[in-house]
Structure 1
Amino acid sequence: MIEVSMRCMTKLLAGSALSLCAVTAMADDTLSLSESLFALAAPEIQPGPSGTPSPWRFSVGAGVVNLPKFPGASGTKWEVVPAVSVSYDRFFIGANPDAASFLSLGAYLYRDNNWRVGAAITYDVIEPRNESDDSRLHGLGDVKRTAHAELFGVYTYQFVTARASVLTDIAGNDRGTVVTFDVLGKYEPMPGLTLSAGPGLTWASSDYNETYFGVNAEQSARSGLPGFSASSGLNQLRFSVGGIYRIGRHWNVGANAAFAWLRGDATDSPITEKTSQISYGIFCTYLF
């Protein structure tokens, strides 16, 4: 019975990680980067000295991703991102697939065979947007890193995983609040290989949309772009495909491609060059 429960929990956690491999929020900052291209999976539960499952889990890895230079950009850029995590029972620090972040500190509030609900504080690993990223951004100012408070929930039933999250800026950097919802189906054509695909959407607050797509009077004067005010609403629709291959008990490699379409005021912004966005990348992690 204990062995069966351990296997079930391992599959659930691995399914959760896989779901984040195929989820994309907005492909514009570290939070969305982690959601769109996260390819971590939980290690098998290792027995401790007493023969019971150890509450400790560790993973070390990195990825290389290609994503738009900024939301609505026609050009892309490459980024190298770390993926290091430590967890003890319900507490975690570092990269976490359920929290969809490469840098997080949090805990699970509730877990059972189908549900995982948790809260976390997350922080951006890279600068979300710099004027130097593209000539179109000159005069608009940088979008700074910030800390976010997050509440997330993941539900898994057989081969389907659904995930929802609410994230809000708690450091006063005008990043606002975003709400994401994604559904993922997975398929295992052979032992060790799991393929996934599914749709998702993102709602963004007026603060978020104004920061990334709005142009105030001062920015307009500096950049030459016309003024534009962005309100809250549906920001993005998306569809992602991905796969994870487990090499033995400890190594995972993963790949993902996310296709996103900006919606609402993001499509009318003078900053936006292209409303369709593509992100893709590969990851490798060592689990122990």
Structure 2
Amino acid sequence: MLGGGAITVPKYEGSDEFKIMPVPFVTATFLDTVRIDPTGANIAVYEQGPFEFSARLGYEMGRKEDDSDHLRGLGDVDMGAKVGAKAAVKFGPAEIFAQLDKTIGGSDGLEGRVGIEVNRPLSQSLMIGASAAAVFADENYMQAYFGVTPEQSARSGLARYDAGAGLKRADFSISATYMLNQNWMVRGKAGVGVLLGDAADSPVVVDKIQPSGMLLVGYRF
């Protein structure tokens, strides 16, 4: 599937300002084993009945201090490569999953996600979905994005803050995919993340509630 659209997201995780960005949309599956999408690649390692285990390759976008005036003096968090794994079990239209991703470079952090996703067709043309997940992170990740070192505090004016490992965010989303014909589709998605724990208490965070939205048009070959 090939297409494009736009997303609206906070300028950074914890911001109360938003940005709208154009996004390309490409998904492809090779030999029923490798699936590529805008987040990276998933490689099926084991499948047996409702159980599935896969390896993951992707990327972490990082963060620029130019993204917001509130980040001035904190410096940049560089982009990094991600390697990880995902385990999932399906119950009808529902999938319960757990995934773990390690960033190489950038934050050099570890991020985990546990949740449930449901996709159900309402007709031959319309598919709806919903998901909920809890997101965890190690100290490296938390300190890179939510911590403030003494040097950063002196440059930015924000209070010094040590962010520890633990629960970072709760995510919720709903989506709808509509097939206009055999090839063309439109997909919309709305979500909200709620920062928790040390992330929510960070002086880097202006708003704990992090809404997002996406609208895509694609062509299926």
Do 1:93 and 1:103's aligned partners in 2 also have CA atoms closer than 8 Å?
no
Summarize the Cα distance change of 1:260–1:104 in structure 2 as closer, same or farther, 3 Å threshold.
Answer: closer
Selected match of 2:93 from 159, 164, 174 = 159
Ranges in structure 2 where 5+ consecutive residues have no aligned partner = none
Q: Does 1:68 align with 2:68?
A: no
Selected match of 1:232 from 165, 177, 181 = 165
Do 2:36 and 2:42's aligned partners in 1 also have CA atoms closer than 8 Å?
no
Q: Which has the higher strand share?
A: 2
User: How far is 1:90 from its partner?
Assistant: 4.2
Partner of 2:76: 142
Partner of 1:180: 113
Identity of aligned residues (%): 28
Supply the distance in 1 between the matched residues of 2:195 and 2:39 (Cα, whole angstroms): 26
Partner of 1:119: 55
User: How far is 1:79 from its partner?
Assistant: 1.5
Partner of 2:205: 272
Partner of 2:22: 80
Do 1:85 and 1:92's aligned partners in 2 also have CA atoms closer than 8 Å?
no
Question: After superposition, what is the alpha-carbon deviation per residue over 1:229-272, rounded to whole angstroms, capped at 9, x for unaligned?
Answer: 00000001122111111233322221111111100101111111
CA RMSD of aligned residues (A): 1.8
Summarize the Cα distance change of 1:221–1:263 in structure 2 as closer, same or farther, 3 Å threshold.
Answer: same
Map 1:2-17 → 2, pairs under 5 A? none
Supply the distance in 2 between the matched residues of 1:183 and 1:194 (Cα, whole angstroms): 17
Do 2:192 and 2:212's aligned partners in 1 also have CA atoms closer than 8 Å?
yes
Supply the distance in 1 between the matched residues of 2:68 and 2:145 (Cα, whole angstroms): 14
Supply the distance in 2 between the matched residues of 1:139 and 1:145 (Cα, whole angstroms): 18
Do 1:83 and 1:94's aligned partners in 2 also have CA atoms closer than 8 Å?
no
Selected match of 2:67 from 123, 133, 143 = 133
User: How far is 1:154 from its partner?
Assistant: 2.9
Selected match of 2:131 from 189, 198, 205 = 198
Selected match of 1:251 from 176, 184, 197 = 184
Partner of 1:22: none
Selected match of 2:46 from 106, 110, 117 = 110
Q: Which amino acid aligns with 2:9?
A: L
TM-score with structure 1 length normalisation? 0.72
Supply the distance in 2 between the matched residues of 1:185 and 1:106 (Cα, whole angstroms): 19
Q: Does 1:283 align with 2:219?
A: no
Supply the distance in 2 between the matched residues of 1:210 and 1:224 (Cα, whole angstroms): 17
Question: After superposition, what is the alpha-carbon deviation per residue over 1:195-252, rounded to whole angstroms, capped at 9, x for unaligned?
Answer: 1223211011111110110000111111111110000000011221111112333222
Supply the distance in 1 between the matched residues of 2:138 and 2:113 (Cα, whole angstroms): 12
TM-score with structure 2 length normalisation? 0.92
Question: After superposition, what is the alpha-carbon deviation per residue over 1:127-165, rounded to whole angstroms, capped at 9, x for unaligned?
Answer: 432111110000111121110111012322212122221
Do 2:59 and 2:103's aligned partners in 1 also have CA atoms closer than 8 Å?
no
User: How far is 1:85 from its partner?
Assistant: 3.5
Tell me which stretches of 4 or more aligned residues in structure 1 moved more than 3 Å.
none
SS in 1 for 2:170: strand
Summarize the Cα distance change of 1:280–1:105 in structure 2 as closer, same or farther, 3 Å threshold.
Answer: closer
Ranges in structure 1 where 5+ consecutive residues have no aligned partner = 1-58, 96-101
Do 1:94 and 1:104's aligned partners in 2 also have CA atoms closer than 8 Å?
yes
User: How far is 1:87 from its partner?
Assistant: 3.0
Q: Which amino acid aligns with 2:44?
A: Y
Selected match of 2:155 from 222, 225, 245 = 222
Summarize the Cα distance change of 1:198–1:107 in structure 2 as closer, same or farther, 3 Å threshold.
Answer: closer
Summarize the Cα distance change of 1:121–1:197 in structure 2 as closer, same or farther, 3 Å threshold.
Answer: closer
Q: Which amino acid aligns with 1:250?
A: N
